[in-house]
Amino acid sequence: MSDRVYLRPTGFVDAPFGHDGKVARLAGTLQWFALVEIVREDGAELVPVAEIEARLDGLGEAARAAWANITAPRAPLKLGERVIRLDQPQVAGIVNVTPDSFSGDGLAGDIDAAVAAGQAMAAAGAALIDVGGESTRPGSQAVWEGDEVARVEPVVRRLAAAGTAVSVDTRKAPVMEAALAAGAGLVNDVSALTWDPRAIEVVARAGCPVVLMHHKGDPATMQNDPRYDRPVCLEIYDWLAARIDAAVAAGIARDRIIVDPGFGFGKTVQHNLQIMNGLALFHGLGCPIMLGASRKRTIGALAGEVPAGERLPGSLAFALKAAEQGAQLIRVHDVPETIQALRVWRGLRDAGLTPA
């Protein structure tokens, strides 16, 4: 059992006014918190923010670094000429150019429809359009890189040419190279740059932002009774920390790294719910957080096994839970509905942060 200490911000408050020294701002976002959960393998304790500095000396360097990360703002993402601020939750719209997407929205073979879908999402308020040409749903098989390039490159090129911020959802170096050359400004890799040995070099050379996502196993088998030897959030945290270190060692700037706990990728329903409840823990890594829970099976499992196309209410619940915990990027299929929900959430935050 590890004796390492982790910090999770909690006890969120509407505003900092009148609470000098008793609350802290979460990663430069619109969220303020009054409590810190000091988490160990064998338990946890709640400590007021006012007392955390006095406790850090006895918690070790990792805890002190995590506290500095939790309270430091995140730099905006730069995707070519586009800049995405991370002081509030931003939406990444999903465009699946695949024939076998789990969500039933695959647009393989129809470039015009895929481009139109991405443009509509951007017009609705998505800060980023995430284009993918390979399904990584549970049980899926790898797609030949040539087919994947043929699916995503023309969509990325046309969206980028129209001024849209675009990311490419792929784990293959040749697909990354083709998409980046076509105008993509970010790489979103569900394998955290582990599947293709060249991927980390491609991202480092491009100097673009990258999403490192936790996964357990290959998509073909990852949902075959996934198990964790330690509390799931702590195991994911340490795994992501190691992947951040590997990326930085390869020449990728730390302020261009985004982390994703990998909701649904080698996790049971209970694992996914633990991730959602503990999401704020991952701010201790010092990177922006992306959360992709839209339409996923956990929603169906909690809501009478409704099919993927009927999981919008559950998707919105997870999106708002992520925003509440300071997640900077929320990856969704249903962009207009999520934007509306977040605008109402933002209105509540603005009201709370406006002195009476």
pLDDT in tens, 227-249: 899 999 999 999 999 999 999 99
Whether 129 and 93 have beta carbons less than 8 Å apart is answered as yes
- Region 122-148 average pLDDT: 88
Starting at the earlier edge strand, list the strands of the sheet with 210-213. Answer: 257-260, 210-213, 186-189, 166-169, 128-132, 90-96, 329-332, 290-291
Predicted model pTM: 0.95
- Tens of pLDDT along 155-191? 999 999 999 999 999 999 999 999 999 999 999 999 9
Which pLDDT score is estimated for 102? 53
Residue 221: pLDDT above 90?
Answer: no
Domain with CATH 3.20.20.20 in the chain: 77-352
Q: How far is CA 130 from CA 116, 143, 328, 342, in A?
A: 14, 18, 15, 19
Judged on CB neighbours under 10 Å (0-12, 13-18, 19+), 238 is middle
261 contacts 279 by C-beta, under 8 angstroms:
yes
Residue 18: partners with Cβ closer than 8 Å, 6 or more residues away: none
Q: Does the structure show a pLDDT above 90 at 225?
A: no
- Give dist(CA 339, CA 328) in Å, integer: 13
Q: Known catalytic residues?
A: 296, 331
**Per-residue pLDDT for 56 more than 60?**
yes
CB 272 within 8 A of CB 231: no
Mean pLDDT computed over 72-95: 96
Cα separation, 292 vs 327, in Å, equals 11
Which pLDDT score, from 0 to 100, does residue 3 have? 75
Q: Are 288 and 77 contacting, i.e. CB atoms less than 8 angstroms apart?
A: yes
**pLDDT score recorded for residue 100:** 57
Q: Look up residue 258 and give its two tokens.
A: 């985004």
CATH number of 77-352: 3.20.20.20
Query: How large a percentage of the chain has pLDDT more than 70?
Result: 94
